[in-house]
């Protein structure tokens, strides 16, 4: 494998580029991005070797999509049209049903592997790229049986060298589970941030009073709306289901408060402490 084309050289694409370059400095990495400033920055940071354009994809051995999920859904069929029969195309999107469905009958479906590396930060753009971001992180792979075996092997070798833990799911299960453990977390952070901003009109007070608990809880509210709005749109049904359950729990907590029922509040929190055992060892 010699030529890798990364479409969207931001946090995920740039972090993959860093790892690939460390593992094999001889690989040439080309950046494709509609934001010319991102490409210039990626070049200055040595994330990519050269800029490229969409029409160059026929030269690729590997194409990595790290763009918003609606853009992936739109561009993926065109990308498969342009690549060679031996090219592997992978995505990194946080939803899978729509993306898999849009290429289910494509003549080059065998060239595509649907993946979701569960790694990242609240930052975006080339400067957010981190070497080793994916070490010990879970990479969910969907419909691997629909990808050509030799291309599966190529992808799995890369993932394992990068230190990823691999899980396999169908797209529907992926989108349902990820709505709980990722999408709801981001909505909670955005709405907590909104609530505090609206209540505390004097932003200096927020800055002065915010402790580490608030900062860590609201951290995800710094994430890009350009990335997250399409995710919520594509996973609307599952997100609404998680919101219903979350709102029910908040309502119950509020009712306990109103009734001075602090024994039940204690029990709710004590039972939820079990999450420490579930998340033990996860950074």
For residue 131, CA distances in Å to 12, 65, 66, 164, 249 come to 10, 18, 16, 13, 39
**Cβ neighbours of residue 102 under 8 Å, at least 6 residues apart?**
73, 76, 77
**What is the model's pTM?**
0.90
Q: What is the DSSP string of 81-124?
A: HHS-TT-EEEE--S--HHHHHHTTT-TTGGGEEEEEE----S--
Q: What is the DSSP string of the chain?
A: --EEEEES-SHHHHHHHHHHHHH-TTSEEEEE-S-HHHHHHHHHTTS-SEE--GGGGGG-SEEEE-S-HHHHHHHHHHHHHHS-TT-EEEE--S--HHHHHHTTT-TTGGGEEEEEE----S--SGGG--TTTTTT-EEEEE-GGGS-HHHHHHHHHHHHHTTPEEEEE-HHHHHHHHIIIIIHHHHHHHHHHHHHHHH---HHHHHHH--HHHHHHHGGGGS-HHHHHHHHHHTHHHHHHHHHHHHHHHHHHHHHHHTT-HHHHHHHHHHHTTHHHHTTT--
- State the pLDDT at residue 282: 56
18-49 tens-digit pLDDT: 998 888 889 999 999 999 999 999 999 999 99
102-130 tens-digit pLDDT: 999 999 999 999 999 998 888 888 999 99
For residue 96, CA distances in Å to 78, 143, 170, 181 come to 18, 10, 9, 15
Domains and CATH numbers, the chain: 3-169 (3.40.50.720), 174-278 (1.10.3660.10)
Between 257 and 204, the higher pLDDT residue? 257
63-83 tens-digit pLDDT: 999 999 999 999 999 999 999
Q: What average pLDDT score do residues 144-167 get?
A: 95
- State the pLDDT at residue 24: 87
């Amino acid at each position: 494998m010699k030529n890798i084309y990364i479409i969207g050289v931001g946090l995920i694409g740039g972090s993959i580029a860093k790892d690939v370059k460390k593992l094999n400095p001889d690989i040439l990495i080309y950046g494709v991005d509609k934001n010319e400033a991102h490409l210039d920055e990626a070049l200055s940071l040595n994330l990519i070797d050269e800029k490229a354009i969409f029409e160059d994809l026929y030269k690729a051995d590997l194409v990595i999509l790290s763009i918003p999920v609606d853009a992936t859904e739109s561009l993926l069929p065109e990308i498969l049209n342009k690549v060679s029969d031996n090219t592997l195309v992978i995505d990194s999107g946080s939803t899978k049903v729509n993306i898999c469905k849009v290429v289910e009958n494509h003549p080059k479906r065998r060239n595509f592997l649907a993946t979701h590396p569960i790694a990242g930060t609240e930052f975006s753009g080339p400067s957010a790229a981190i070497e080793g971001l994916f070490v010990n992180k879970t990479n969910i792979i969907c419909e691997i049986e629909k990808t050509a075996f030799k291309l599966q092997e190529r992808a799995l070798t890369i993932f394992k060298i990068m230190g990823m833990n691999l899980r396999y799911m169908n797209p529907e299960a992926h989108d349902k589970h990820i709505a709980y453990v990722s999408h709801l977390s981001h909505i909670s952070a955005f709405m907590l941030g909104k609530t505090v901003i609206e209540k505390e009109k004097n932003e200096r007070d927020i800055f002065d009073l915010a402790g580490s608990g608030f900062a860590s809880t609201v951290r995800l509210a710094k994430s890009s709306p350009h990335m997250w709005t399409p995710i919520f749109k594509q996973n609307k049904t599952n997100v609404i289901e998680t919101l219903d359950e979350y709102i029910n729990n908040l309502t119950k907590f509020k009712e306990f408060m109103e009734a001075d029922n602090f024994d039940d509040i204690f029990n709710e929190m004590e039972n939820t402490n079990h999450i420490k055992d579930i998340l033990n060892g996860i950074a």
